[in-house]
A and B are shown apart, each in its own frame.
Chain A
Amino acid sequence: MSDILINLENINKIFYTEDVETHALSNITLTIKKGEYISISGPSGCGKSTLLSLLGLLDTTTNGKYMLSGHDVSNIAKNERARIRNQEIGFIFQSFNLISDLDVEENVELPLTYRNDLSKAERKKMVMDALEKVDMAHRAKHFPSQLSGGQQQRVAVARAIAGNPSILLADEPTGNLDTKNAEAVMQLLDRLHEEGATICMVTHDPRSASRAERTIQVLDGKIVGDEKAKGSTSSIVEEIVAKAEDAVTAEESVS
């Protein structure tokens, strides 16, 4: 079975206003495999957030092809996009975006209430499991205004993972946090990745970017760099494989 989760081919995104055409993304081609931990970085206005929006089906491409889990989702209807977002994608925003009128438990449950196939008991279990994972179960009945920024972001992470999505999309997840809370959230993401989550994170913080095993650099709407981070698991495996191949080649030449 293919382990490619996302495949973008020649994606373009153009914003049209009255006088101006803005090419936010040009000819983006990108593949994301299951279990990868990717960071997307670049200067302000380079198009990284736009790329994340397209990945998350929050926006539509101007042209190009987008395959998600083997399905072409380039031009699907709005309701279908909503369904896929609900079931396949988990979002973590810079500004947390919790609903202030709902308590923690209700906020985490919110995406699950948009599904028709879950009973109340099932939803509750999924919610509590997610809250346990982020160590916020004890604050289930509190409201967002009663939590610190770091705690709100952990709840937002719980909301994102509650439905077991295929991929987590994080847009500057630590942008509004102090160092300590930022580190806590990043450790949480690391743990999720170790447990098998596929994560794609937009950040311009080099420390956060270095946590990912693959870094994609975006500049002026184009991908200008796509490197495996040194020391990442995949890079170590690839190094071992490369060395083994070199060794085989050398042996053959001797004999």
Chain B
Amino acid sequence: MMLIGDLKYALRLMSKKLGFTVLTTLVMAVGIGLSIYLFSFFHTMVFKELPFEDGDTLVQISASQNGLKNAGTINLHDYQEIKQSLRGLSEFGSYKTESLTVSGRDGARRYSGVSAEPNIFKITRTKPVLGREFRAEENQSGAERVVVIGYDVWQNLFAGNSKALDQIVRINGESHRVIGVMPQGYVFPSNTEMWLPLREKAEQMSRDKASNVYGLAHVDGDAELEEINRELTVVMQRIEQRHPKTNNGISAYVSSIPMATAADGLPVIYTVHIIAILVLILASINVGNLLLSRAIERGKETAIRVALGAPRSRLISQMLWESIIICCVGGIIGLLILMWGLDVTEVITATFNVDKPPFWWQFGIDGFTIKLFASFVLGTILLTGLLPAWKNSGADFNAVLRDGTRGALGKKAGRLNRFLIISEIFVSMTVLITATVLMVGNFKATQADYGADAENILTAEVILNGEKYSTPESKAQFSKTLQSRLENTNGIGDVMISSALPGNLSSTPAMALEGKEYVKDKGYPRANYIVVAPGSLAKLGVELKQGRYFNSSDEGLEKSSVIVTDSFASRHFPDSSAIGKRIRTVELDGDQPNWLTIVGIVEHTIQGPSYQESGKIASVFRPFSQAPRDQITVAMRMKADKAQVTKSLRQTLASIDAELPAFRIETYTDSFSRHTDPMLFITTIFLLFGIAAVILASTGIYGVMSNTINQRTQEIGVKCALGATNKRIINDFLMTGVKQLLWGGIPGLLAGSAMGFAMSTMLGIGSADLVAVVIVLTFVISGTVLLATYLPTKRALEMEPSEALRYE
């Protein structure tokens, strides 16, 4: 009953000061909502368990290159050795992703597929809803070709008919019998639509013929991932020593599947988490300070309650109600905003991939979010409510009740205020610097020059699989025919063919430079190795710096010419021109070294997202006819609209080969957007954080300082009475403000700069940018502190000294 009475009283008080209540509630909503959003976002993307039984122990074995964890694949032989050597893991499996062309009466269509060992479904504890899984004997080379299809494929191709089992589907030119259908929503390991047996055994094939795969396993009960990774590093070092040519710089790591692609971004993610907590602390300090000043205002009321016999615990609980209400209501509002934010996030992130996003990217309120919400609300209640309640309930109330015993600000109250101000400044500085660096870094990544002119170009991918394209000659002929027919089609201008356009990832084999010695086959540099049809580089606008582009004299398998980027030339031939020098690929050479002569140097092209390390790797281009590939990208300058050009492309392809579909058809600028959109999205989030932090910081600092000076109004009156001029008083207070700025600002500057520096290194921001950010924000915070000191002091000085002396 008493608690209900206290609650009603608290509500009545809060409704009397509605502006204050709304302000504090909104501040809390912003703090809680934004913080939980960040935690929830990264939890969903990287840390959440996969939705399978034993999903928490399911891990992937991926390759790293020169320390960079870029979720690469490992040679099947290496996987076999790891499986035999590594402790702490069990239920090993492996898979590789495939691009599958399914052809039928209606033409050909591409599906995302996976070739895997038969236990792939057992690993995820998931059974087909129809039919069965693979058998061991189906995993042999030469065995009958079978396929397990996904639920959506079952609906599309077979209308969900149970008679789909044992039907024949033509995949990559080969007939496959459907043996099973997976449940709806099952797309393991990542938006997979069809599963095929791997049909490869390491012991039955040589190393250079074996595929590259990802490993899968479950972590044993008490095994630690760090220990497993240490052992894995040792195993990979052993393999590197035995096979330096192919494994130079290659290691491997074990992580959850979501973590595999984010492993190198973990420092950034953890930094963002720290910022989220700091924003919450900033909001809490703001609200706590406001509640503290309210508590001080109500000092006399509290004194009367004490005089009437209220125990301290009751006083504390009465004062806690305001904090409880503000934090709970603010938290709920924050949660509602969060729900909306996560819904929007799901829609936006779905556009980051051409295919469907990873199946674990399901943003929404889940158990983790609820638990986090509850702990944040509880934490903020304690932080914002307990301190004022404790402080005010223990004050000297005799002194308060006696009339005229008010003095200048008490020593303890002064200390508390100073602590609040310094904390506010410290947290603000740290959050603002780090958030701004993240924002600037992300934004810069979206503005990178990839090296090509992407305007008005439509791109598409074609995979040449099947017996028809088993020879280099057939691939070379196909690309020539395709290019020529497309260029003669209405609505299509220049046609460029490449294994990887600027902006796309490429393979990075080891290269050797003629005349340089590689002891024990170590130290080979890596470069993007891209094949292009002659004229493609010029048509794409990749600027020639020296030498020449490819021409008809470079056509033919027997020719050996190459163009390098200026980044390659300056790195490996710093003292002389690279033109005429010779290089070769180490792994792809075959039996005889095949020296390639550099005939031209072009500007650097960024292969892959600019903000990743892959963007800095130099590139080497070869004519398509000299080293044809299976997977090609066609780029067409559009003279008609996109739909028309798409139609022309499909028709032209069908005219060459009806079983060859084009897929990932999108404009070149859209493909860049897929790199930049995630970064822009994150930039927007950080911008929101930055704005929230600036508002919280400036209002918080102003509020705390204004409150402090307000409490010292009487002291100002005393000083005036003693003969201090306005200027003198303002200077004194400004000096105090400067001291507090230094106490809070210097540690904040150091902490923020340290975090900012770490982020800038990862995001490729130069020191000049970081210094500029730090200087600007130092001015912002300093200006806020000084203004927050000057304005309230000036206001207090507008009173006559007699008024200030009597001020309560």
Residues of A within 8 A of B (CB): 50, 53, 56, 58-60, 78-79, 82-87, 91, 93-101, 110-111, 114-115, 143-145, 159, 172, 175-176
Would you call B714 an interface residue if the criterion is a C-beta within 8 Å of the partner chain's C-beta atoms? yes
CA A59 to CA B721, docked complex, whole Å: 10
- The answer to whether A98 and B407 have CB atoms under 8 Å apart is yes
Residues of B within 8 A of A (CB): 402, 404-411, 414, 714-715, 718-728, 800-803, 805
- The answer to whether B407 and A82 have CB atoms under 8 Å apart is no
- The answer to whether B404 and A60 have CB atoms under 8 Å apart is no
- The answer to whether B801 and A59 have CB atoms under 8 Å apart is yes
CA A217 to CA B410, docked complex, whole Å: 36
Q: How far is the CB of A166 from chain B (nearest CB, A)?
A: 13
- The answer to whether A83 and B723 have CB atoms under 8 Å apart is yes
Closest residue to B804 on the A side, CB-wise? A58
Q: How far is the CB of A154 from chain B (nearest CB, A)?
A: 16
- The answer to whether B409 and A100 have CB atoms under 8 Å apart is yes
Residue of B411, B720, B726 touching A100 (CB-CB under 8 A): B411
Which of A86, A101, A172 is packed against the most chain B CB atoms within 10 Å?
A101
- Find chain B residues with CB under 8 A from A58 CB: 720-721, 800-802, 805
Q: Which 6 A-B pairs have the closest CB atoms?
A: A86-B723, A53-B802, A111-B722, A58-B802, A59-B802, A58-B801
- The answer to whether B718 and A97 have CB atoms under 8 Å apart is yes
- The answer to whether A95 and B800 have CB atoms under 8 Å apart is no
Q: How far is the CB of B396 from chain A (nearest CB, A)?
A: 10
- The answer to whether A100 and B410 have CB atoms under 8 Å apart is yes
CA A22 to CA B702, docked complex, whole Å: 36
Residue of A60, A84, A97, A115 touching B408 (CB-CB under 8 A): A97
Known pairs A58-B800, A78-B726, A82-B720; A99 contacts B405 (CB<8 A): no
Known pairs A58-B805, A114-B728; A101 contacts B414 (CB<8 A): yes
Other than the given A59-B802, A100-B409, A101-B409, 12 more pairs (CB < 8 A) read A50-B802, A60-B800, A79-B726, A82-B723, A85-B721, A87-B723, A97-B408, A97-B718, A99-B715, A100-B407, A110-B722, A114-B722
- The answer to whether A82 and B802 have CB atoms under 8 Å apart is no
Residue of B409, B721, B724, B727 touching A91 (CB-CB under 8 A): B721
Closest residue to B736 on the A side, CB-wise? A101
- Find chain A residues with CB under 8 A from B805 CB: 58, 93, 97
- Find chain B residues with CB under 8 A from A96 CB: 407
- The answer to whether B801 and A98 have CB atoms under 8 Å apart is no
- The answer to whether B411 and A101 have CB atoms under 8 Å apart is yes
- The answer to whether B722 and A176 have CB atoms under 8 Å apart is no
CA A138 to CA B720, docked complex, whole Å: 28
Closest residue to B406 on the A side, CB-wise? A95
Q: How far is the CB of A176 from chain B (nearest CB, A)?
A: 6
A-B contact pairs, 29 of them (CB 8 A): A50-B802, A58-B721, A58-B800, A58-B805, A59-B800, A59-B801, A59-B803, A82-B720, A82-B726, A83-B723, A83-B725, A85-B720, A86-B723, A86-B724, A91-B721, A95-B404, A95-B405, A100-B407, A100-B409, A100-B411, A110-B719, A110-B722, A111-B722, A111-B723, A114-B723, A114-B725, A115-B723, A175-B404, A176-B402
- The answer to whether B407 and A159 have CB atoms under 8 Å apart is no
- Find chain B residues with CB under 8 A from A145 CB: 410-411
Which of B409, B719, B728, B802 is packed against the most chain A CB atoms within 10 Å?
B802
- Find chain A residues with CB under 8 A from B723 CB: 82-87, 111, 114-115
- Find chain B residues with CB under 8 A from A53 CB: 802
- The answer to whether B414 and A159 have CB atoms under 8 Å apart is no
CA A32 to CA B615, docked complex, whole Å: 89
CA A91 to CA B728, docked complex, whole Å: 19
- Find chain B residues with CB under 8 A from A87 CB: 723
- The answer to whether B404 and A100 have CB atoms under 8 Å apart is no
- Find chain A residues with CB under 8 A from B411 CB: 100-101, 143, 145
- Find chain A residues with CB under 8 A from B727 CB: 79
Closest residue to B722 on the A side, CB-wise? A111
Q: How far is the CB of B395 from chain A (nearest CB, A)?
A: 14
- The answer to whether B407 and A97 have CB atoms under 8 Å apart is yes
Closest residue to A86 on the B side, CB-wise? B723
CA A97 to CA B802, docked complex, whole Å: 13
Residue of B402, B408, B801, B803 touching A99 (CB-CB under 8 A): B408
CA A96 to CA B406, docked complex, whole Å: 9
- The answer to whether A99 and B718 have CB atoms under 8 Å apart is yes
CA A76 to CA B74, docked complex, whole Å: 89
- The answer to whether B414 and A97 have CB atoms under 8 Å apart is no
- Find chain A residues with CB under 8 A from B725 CB: 78-79, 82-83, 114
- Find chain A residues with CB under 8 A from B405 CB: 95, 176
